[in-house]
Amino acid sequence: MTKPVDPKSRARWLLIVFIGVMAAVTTVAWMSISAGRSVSQQAETLAKERIPELREIGALQAAMSARVTQLYLCYATGERLVWQHQYEERAQRVHAHVDALSRLGLSPMKRQQFLGMVLAFDLQAHLFDQEMAKGDERSWDALREHLAGAQREVDEMAVMLTMWSDEISVAAQKSGESALNEVARLTELQLGFSLAVLLVSAFILIALYARLKDQDKLYRQAYFDEVTGLPNRWLLEEELHNKLEQKDTGFLQILRIDRLKIVASTYGHETADQLIKATANWLQGRLDSRQDQCALYRLNSDSLAIISKLSAGSDEAERLAQDLASISDQPLMLGERDLRIALDIGIALFPGDGESVSCLVRNADAALNAKSSGNHYRFFEKRMTDDSASWLSTEGLLRSALEKQEFELYYQPKQSADGRQTKGSEALIRWRQADKLVSPALFIPVAEDSGLIVPIGTWVLNEACRQWRAWANAGLPPLPIAVNVSAQQFQDEAFPVLVADALQEYAIPRGMIELEITEAVAADHPERAITTMQALKQAGVSLAIDDFGTGYSSLSYLKRFPIDTLKIDQAFVRAMGSSPEDAAIVNLIMSLAKSLKLKVVAEGVETPEQQAQLAALDCDLLQGYLFSKPIPASDFASRLQSF
């Protein structure tokens, strides 16, 4: 592709005249414009951010006050049906105000703190409603206790909202004082552009616009990405070529947005474009704040790239990668939808990892594809070129594995809290290739990216049903088997029918197959998830929310999900002994589950201390290496016989 002529070079004489005119502008005039801009920006900030923030805080405080007032009216009048009718609507108002504050700049930490208080209030309200439902047998002391608990939560929220309001008011006051100072300064600067300067400037700008409009459009189309506005691959390769020619030292990072294809297939390409743009804006803001002198580029459909402008080595590249990987810690706002993403980052250093542009890009891409599970970045190593070829062949091998039936299921027991009884198991897929087990961390990402996760998931479901029937026919105890469901399976409209067919084929009794659905998948489209769950329950399976506590499902939706079990994420279990916050989350999940009459399974139990803590909380089932790693079907059957 031939590079278009830079529009600036075609209009050199016009630019020279324009620069001469601008040089004639006095320092006083420039100071006036600068002061005016400052006043405008401060006024805009006050109008678009500060005032709406204060309005939303006031509305949020009023909404929570109205909710607790509802409880008092219900207590005083006994009109429980009126309270129930208005409860959900007022709860949605609270969440709407919180979302509005988030869009106006409320930090994720403050949002999470406040929603935690809302959750605690909802729990007290739920317990209050349960007591009211007892009719004449209700305990007025218990009702007053729940009212007091709800009032305490509202009071704590009021304190927090007042603190936020004070912070915003102080910031607005400082901004206003600064604006007044700028206005005073502006009134002292009466000199402005003369009519002649304005006319000449207007003439030159019109001439420039008429001459450069088409050329600038072509130039941007050829060298800048339409969605993000970032320079594209052509400019990236040109910049790399210059740096390699000048023997500069630095790094190239290729950043791939995880699960972008799933977002596009679920929400549409317009949402995917919005996600790419939001990610690019976040990355650019991060680079600007770090002042690392790095340039950001759009490389292809799901990848961006960063080139260091100054001399830099592996230490600088690693620090930057660690910082950028933190994008997964906070959701990106796309309209009314929050999406969490993760970045995979491949890093190549120049000139050591490539003496040509194509070699450098290829090696950074190889590092990207070789990123091991649990990490967010990887440096290029020479052996990765072979690994990349292996990665590309994995999809074909997976298709062959399905045909040749190379997959098998291992089963990890679920134990009673005292560890003495096996109450069920979770089916986990393994791939045996040439008498060696391939780690799921190596093939599951390829299966998800290629869409093979759907037929593989179908095989897992059918194999679990077949194995349950085989064990039952052999006289072993009828214990439920849990099967993980991928996002792509759950979003398939035909999935409930497929499940019903598998249960019918192997004559599986109701509740003996449990489907584990991650909280993130269930909370993504709650109404659609409820419909799918109801169809699955009707088919005869039980349902569990996996990794509970890591997603964004609200209590109002959780109450409507037709689920049987909450599964506490292993990250909380492992940190119980060392983190009071994680211990409090586990305790809260247990209380919530008891209130909703749900079973609780804690996964990742590895120490007797964790077992003791969970047993003390009356956790129903425990799962983890303390009891057993995932084992073949034959070993699991022997385990049941020994128990």
Residues 256 and 308 in one domain: yes
Residue 557 maps to a domain: yes
Residue 209 maps to a domain: no
Residue 387 maps to a domain: no
Residues 139 and 254 in one domain: no
Out of 6-15, 263-272, 446-455, 495-504, least confident range:
6-15
- Res. 233: pLDDT tops 70: yes
CA distances from 363 to 357, 468, 469, 628 (A): 10, 47, 50, 41
pLDDT digits (tens, 9 = 90+) for 378-390: 898 876 665 555 6
pLDDT value for 507? 97
pLDDT value for 183? 58
- Res. 305: pLDDT tops 90: yes
Is 252 in contact with 360 (CB distance < 8 Å)?
yes
pLDDT value for 374? 41
**Residue predicted with more confidence, 12 or 241:** 241
Residue 2 maps to a domain: no
Residue 210 maps to a domain: no
Amino acid identity for residue 504 in this structure: Q
Residues 140 and 185 in one domain: yes
Q: Is 441 exposed, middle or buried (0-12, 13-18, 19+ CB in 10 A)?
A: exposed
- Greatest mean pLDDT among 125-134, 200-209, 554-563 lies in 125-134
Q: pLDDT-based confidence at 553, cuts 50/70/90?
A: low
- Greatest mean pLDDT among 204-218, 221-235, 350-364, 617-631 lies in 617-631
pLDDT value for 418? 93
pLDDT value for 129? 82
Q: At what angle do helices 453-473 and 384-404 cross, to 10 degrees?
A: 50
How far apart CA 333 and CA 387 sit, in angstroms, is 36
Q: What percent of the chain has pLDDT over 90?
A: 32
Q: pLDDT-based confidence at 1, cuts 50/70/90?
A: very low
Residue 470 maps to a domain: yes
pLDDT value for 556? 66
**DSSP label at residue 231:** B
Residues 180 and 243 in one domain: no
Residue 216 maps to a domain: no
Name the percent of the chain in helix, strand, coil, to the closest 5: 65, 15, 20
CATH code, domain carrying 343? 3.30.70.270
pLDDT value for 272? 85
**What's the rounded mean pLDDT across residues 424-450?**
89
Residue 259 maps to a domain: yes
**What's the rounded mean pLDDT across residues 363-371?**
80
CATH code, domain carrying 592? 3.20.20.450
Q: pLDDT-based confidence at 33, cuts 50/70/90?
A: low
pLDDT digits (tens, 9 = 90+) for 585-602: 899 999 999 999 999 999
pLDDT value for 237? 92
Q: Is 278 exposed, middle or buried (0-12, 13-18, 19+ CB in 10 A)?
A: middle
Is 591 in contact with 383 (CB distance < 8 Å)?
no
**What's the rounded mean pLDDT across residues 413-432?**
95
Out of 5-14, 331-340, 417-426, least confident range:
5-14
- Res. 19: pLDDT tops 70: no
Average pLDDT of the chain to the nearest whole number: 82
**Residue predicted with more confidence, 3 or 592:** 592
**Residue predicted with more confidence, 5 or 331:** 331
Tokens describing residue 483: 């099967």
Residues 441 and 530 in one domain: yes
Residues 302 and 440 in one domain: no
CA distances from 492 to 399, 406, 528, 538, 563 (A): 20, 25, 11, 17, 19
pLDDT digits (tens, 9 = 90+) for 326-357: 886 677 777 777 777 778 899 999 888 888 89
Total domain count, the chain: 3
Q: How many angstroms from the chain centroid is the CA of residue 156?
A: 28
**Residue predicted with more confidence, 278 or 512:** 512
**What's the rounded mean pLDDT across residues 250-273?**
82
Residues 42 and 138 in one domain: yes
Q: pLDDT-based confidence at 484, cuts 50/70/90?
A: very high
Residues 50 and 170 in one domain: yes
**Residue predicted with more confidence, 434 or 544:** 544
Question: Which residues span the domain enclosing 305?
Answer: 233-380
Residues 349 and 434 in one domain: no
pLDDT value for 457? 96
Residues 573 and 455 in one domain: yes
Residues 433 and 553 in one domain: yes
- Res. 373: pLDDT tops 50: no
pLDDT value for 153? 85
**Residue predicted with more confidence, 46 or 237:** 237
CATH code, domain carrying 12? 1.20.120.1730
Q: Report the 10 Å Cβ neighbour count for 133.
A: 11
3-class DSSP state of 376: coil
**Residue predicted with more confidence, 53 or 30:** 53
pLDDT digits (tens, 9 = 90+) for 111-123: 888 888 888 888 8
How far apart CA 538 and CA 512 sit, in angstroms, is 14
Q: pLDDT-based confidence at 91, cuts 50/70/90?
A: confident
Tokens describing residue 183: 């206005």
Tallying the residues shown for the chain, one arrives at 643
Out of 159-173, 316-330, 549-563, least confident range:
549-563
Residues 488 and 414 in one domain: yes
pLDDT value for 564? 96
pLDDT value for 602? 95
